[in-house]
Each structure stands twice: as structure tokens, then as C-alpha cells.
Amino acid sequence: MPGDEISDSVHIQNHSNQKAELFFRTEEPEGLTEEQKELLAHLEFRMEKDGKELYRGTLQSQELHQEISLGSYEADEESELTFFISMPKEDQNWFAARDTMIHWVFYCDLPEVYG
């Protein structure tokens, strides 16, 4: 509903013995209708790492289709990632009956290990 916000968080910890960098990006699933894409363009998305803002924009932003570094983690380093999705108060209630989807892709870049 317009004006609503949901949030969730995830605890990240590097359990390896080497430095690792974590990345995030989104992918729009094939077959989204124009109404579903329009809803993505209206949903506001914010991402924070330990309270520091990493991204703010809509879920349809082309910027999210590119890699966003969530930081480099030394061995045993940890942090808290928090995600917020909201619908602007100014949006009409007809968005409330719509649904949409987006894929969130996380991956880690570790130096190659030779043995």
C-alpha cells in the first residue's frame, strides 16, 4: 500500500581464511508484464551495511543490474546488511492490487586457491 515500508536484514560473515569481496545485482525475470515493470519503477529500494547507505533508488533502476560492491571482508569479518522496500505515499491505491518480482543475485569474489 502507498506509504508502507518493509525491511529485512541478513548477517554476513567471511568464514574463509582470506579476504573476499561481496557483490549484489538484480535481474528482471523474463515475461514480466508492463504493469509489473511499472510497479518495479515505483517501488523504492534502499540497502544499508551496518547503518551506512549503499544504495537508494527504485527496484527497476539500471544501476541495480550492474555489480554493486557490498564491501571487502577480511577473514572472520562480519556485518549486517539491511534492505528496505517502500511505496511512496503519493502513489495511487491501484498499485496495491499488483504483484511483481525481481531476482536478487549475491556473489563473492575470492582469490583463486592453487593446491
CB 55 within 8 A of CB 68: yes
> If you count them, how many residues does the chain have?
115
pTM: 0.83
Cell numbers found for residue 4: 508502507
Domain limits of the chain?
Answer: 5-109
Look at residue 90 in the predicted model and tell me its pLDDT. Answer: 77
Residue 115 banded pLDDT, cuts 50, 70, 90 = very low
Q: What residues pair up with 55 in beta bridges, in sequence order?
A: 47
Q: What residues pair up with 10 in beta bridges, in sequence order?
A: 81
Give the residue-averaged pLDDT of 57-83: 93
> Residue 47: in which H helix or E strand, if any?
strand 44-49
The two beta strands, 20-27 and 68-73, are antiparallel
Look at residue 7 in the predicted model and tell me its pLDDT. Answer: 96
What percent of the chain stands above pLDDT 70? 90
